Structure 1
Amino acid sequence: MQPVIPDKNEFISLTTMKMPFGKYKGLRLVDLPEPYLVWFSRKGFPEGKLGRLLRTVYEIKLNGLEYLFKQK
């Protein structure tokens, strides 16, 4: 099994990219509420980069790792 190597640019995208559609249009991906991400996990994440980032935010919130985005 290969180790997971974090991608710094993907992490930055989580904090800068905004939701392009829907109820939370304009909200940064990292600020999306967990229930909205759970809904996507059940219905299916979009294809491409947006889906990958939403899936990542979902996993971060699911595992209680939001502190990774807090500024000191």
Structure 2
Amino acid sequence: MNPESLVELAHYKMPFGKYKDRYLVEIPEYYFGWFKQKGFPEGKLGFMMEQMHEIKINGLEELIFKIRRQYPAPKPKRKP
């Protein structure tokens, strides 16, 4: 992942379900484990969830918390 993607991941929030509006890093690992077994959603959300799962199973959550503290959330891209 490139640095911009890590900043985006650090600020990415769950858009639905039990953990709606929570940062992905704040969601328990078992939730991502369930999706790994059943299949991650398609698209960007699925990619972000899969990356966060890898970060969590490797114990790197503090890196994401640090990124979130040090770098502001990326501004949403405007559609022309």
TM-score normalised per structure 1? 0.82
CA–CA distance in structure 2, aligned partners of residues 18 and 66 of structure 1: 15
2:55 corresponds to? 60
Aligned: 1:45 with 2:40: yes
Q: Tell me: higher relative CO, structure 1 or 2? Use CA pairs within 8 A at least 6 residues apart.
A: 2
Please identify runs of 4+ aligned residues in structure 1 that moved more than 3 A.
Answer: none
In the alignment, structure 1 segments of 5+ residues that lack a partner are 1-5
Tell me by how many angstroms 1:70 deviates.
3.5
Paired with 1:16 and 1:70, the residues of 2 have a C-alpha distance of 9
Q: CA RMSD in A?
A: 1.5
Gapped runs of 5+ residues in structure 2? 70-80
- Paired residue for 2:75? none
Counterpart residue identity of residue 50, structure 2: R
Q: TM-score of the superposition, structure 2-length normalised? A: 0.75
- The count of aligned residue pairs is 67
CA contact (8 A) 1:38 1:58 kept: yes
Alignment partners' CA distance in 1, 2:23 and 2:61: 14
